Amino acid sequence: MGTLQLEVVTPDKTVVSTQVEMAVCPGVEGEFGVLPQHVSLLSALKVGALRYRVDGKDQYVFISGGFADVNDNVLSVLAESAEQAADIDAARAEAARERAEKRLAEKSEELDQRRAEAALQRALSRLEVARLG
């Protein structure tokens, strides 16, 4: 069935650059799969796990939301931050989770609450990807 090129890029670095058999992205309106020779698309992504398959084996990368662009058999994912499962520091994510939960328990301003909720989502998702990877 062939492959497509997956590029996961942040402002700092390229996190993934490899040929994959398929990928599943966390779209804001739900997960969507991308197979080789997929039609062009542009989609916003939410915080979550991006799954991709190489040599029949699933791999996971955390992404903090961003955009996915499919064109000419290349899936480009642009994210503010992204880490391969093996590069996730679970202790750091656990500390971030505790900090965020503490902030949510304090009845602070709405903006702080929203920031804490977003931080909690990132932490939980990193812990999930670290576990899957």
Residues lying near ligand ATP in the complex (CB under 6 A)? 12, 64, 81, 83, 87-89, 92-93, 96, 119, 122, 126
Cα-flanking dihedrals φ and ψ of residue 65, to 5°?
Answer: 85, 175
Closer residue to ligand ATP (CB): 12 or 29? 12
Count of other CB atoms within 10 angstroms of residue 84: 16
Q: Please, what is the minimum distance in Å from the beta carbon of residue 82 to ligand ATP? A: 7
Strand-strand pairing, 4-9 and 30-34 = unpaired
Q: Please, what is the minimum distance in Å from the beta carbon of residue 64 to ligand ATP? A: 5
Q: CA-CA distance, 62 to 133, in Å (whole number)?
A: 10
> Can you name the residues that pair with 58 across neighbouring β-strands?
53
Closer residue to ligand ATP (CB): 66 or 68? 66
Closer residue to ligand ATP (CB): 51 or 122? 122
